[in-house]
Chains A and B, each alone.
Chain A
Amino acid sequence: MPDEQEFISVINQHQKIIHKVCAVYMDTPTDREDLFQEITLQAWKSFATFRGEAQFSTWLYRVALNTAITFFRKEKKQPQIFNTEIFPELTEQRNTDEEQLAAMYKAIGELSNIDKALVMLYIEDYSYQEIGDMMGISPNNVAVKMIRIKTKLKDAAKKYYQF
């Protein structure tokens, strides 16, 4: 039986990873809370198998993405809502940088679950080799997908932000 205190301590240190995955995959605070719980429980169940061969953050990313991708909700997907918690500035005054960020954020929200995972790992600065290892695909495949995703995001973000 793994040590619960040790687990809580490492999760506490790395919880930003789980928050990021929840923010990318879920629109509402309730859904994000549910996913956070699911990822934490899944990580706890699998913690005994973590042998320190990889960094804990990489291992946690793998757990979090596996869980998020297969976290199918019963109810129909709600329409994408604007997240005022993540972008509070936009509700008060217009800010160009924030608007660009918000547009990109919305565009990422429209991606498929697999593409969201790739974007997450990409913005965390993982190499294509590392992303490939986590996703179970070749680095070449990651590269091809990233080119396609970047184009898709550029086009989608234009819908939300006019230069």
Chain B
Amino acid sequence: MELDELKNELNKKFAADKNKSAADIAALLKKQTVSVVRKLQRSLWFDLLANILVLFLFIWQGLYNASWALRVYFSSFIVLSVAALIVLIYLIRKINALNNTILPVKQNLESIYTIVREYKTRCFQLTMLLIPFCIAFIFVLAYVENKSGHQFDDLIDKLNDRAWILYTAIVVYVSMITIGIYYFTKWWLKKLYGKYLDQLKLLIAELEENSY
């Protein structure tokens, strides 16, 4: 039994489902898609809205926080949030353009794969980059603030002959935060996009395969 012998019959069988009316088709157009691209679009829109909320919070803290150091800290993150907003808008536009263009199967898979992978990689890199930046920045600001206001002098005096306790606490705290964020970010991004990326990669590899 060969595929060619059953070609026409199979073709008929595959089309056996009952036809839909024009009204059924019109009703379908009111619904939402559930594709990988749609999932990514929803993720990006969620990030965009979260970013806008955080931006307002930063502006508010940057203007009204009682501490000078925290005002500077939050104000600097306004710049970062605006930059992130621009990147997110760019990605949403790119995804929309891809979603409305019908490419050959392989090119379509490669485009989705590249965008999702890029997004996942950049999210991870940005998060990792922000950890040392935030920690270093907060220490510098605390040092500068203490120079002018001497808020931490009491604590430093108390620990004067046991400074190692302070240093150890700082090192343990920074290490735990760094390791925690590293593994959490990795796990979260893998949970969100890892499976899709693996499936897309397999499909692309299968299309590229050219042997018996």
Partner-B contacts on A (CB < 8 A) = 4, 7-9, 11-12, 15-16, 19-20, 22-24, 32, 34, 36-38, 40-42, 44-46, 48-50, 59, 62-63, 65-67, 69-72, 85-87, 97, 100-101, 103-105, 108, 112-114, 117, 119-120, 122-125, 133-137, 140-141, 144, 147-150, 153-154, 157-158, 161, 163
Contact B35 A71 (CB under 8 A): yes
Q: With both chains docked as a complex, state the minimum distance between the C-beta of A157 and any C-beta of chain B, in angstroms.
A: 5
The number of A-B residue pairs with CB atoms under 8 Å apart is 169
Partner-A contacts on B (CB < 8 A) = 1-4, 6-11, 13-17, 19-22, 25-26, 28-29, 31-37, 99-109, 112, 195-196, 199-200, 203, 206-208, 210-212
Residue of B at shortest CB range from A113? B203
| A96 to B199 alpha-carbon distance, docked (Å) | 38
Q: With both chains docked as a complex, state the minimum distance between the C-beta of B198 and any C-beta of chain A, in angstroms.
A: 10
Q: How would you classify the secondary structure of chain A's contact residues: helix, strand, loop or mixed?
A: helix
Residues of B within 8 A of A22 (CB): 17
Residues of B within 8 A of A37 (CB): 28, 31
Residues of A within 8 A of B195 (CB): 72
Contact A157 B1 (CB under 8 A): yes
| A137 to B108 alpha-carbon distance, docked (Å) | 12
Contact A123 B105 (CB under 8 A): no
12 contacts between A and B (CB under 8 A): A8-B29, A15-B25, A23-B17, A49-B100, A86-B16, A101-B13, A114-B105, A123-B3, A136-B106, A147-B212, A154-B1, A161-B1
Contact B19 A134 (CB under 8 A): no
Residues of B within 8 A of A63 (CB): 102
Residues of B within 8 A of A65 (CB): 105
Residues of B within 8 A of A62 (CB): 102, 104-105
Q: With both chains docked as a complex, state the minimum distance between the C-beta of A160 and any C-beta of chain B, in angstroms.
A: 10
Residues of B within 8 A of A104 (CB): 1, 3, 6, 10
Residues of B within 8 A of A32 (CB): 17
Residues of B within 8 A of A148 (CB): 212
Contact B34 A136 (CB under 8 A): no
Q: With both chains docked as a complex, state the minimum distance between the C-beta of B208 and any C-beta of chain A, in angstroms.
A: 8
Contact B25 A12 (CB under 8 A): yes
Q: A7-B29, A101-B6 are in contact. List 6 more A-B contacts (CB 8 A).
A: A23-B13, A41-B28, A62-B102, A86-B13, A150-B3, A161-B1
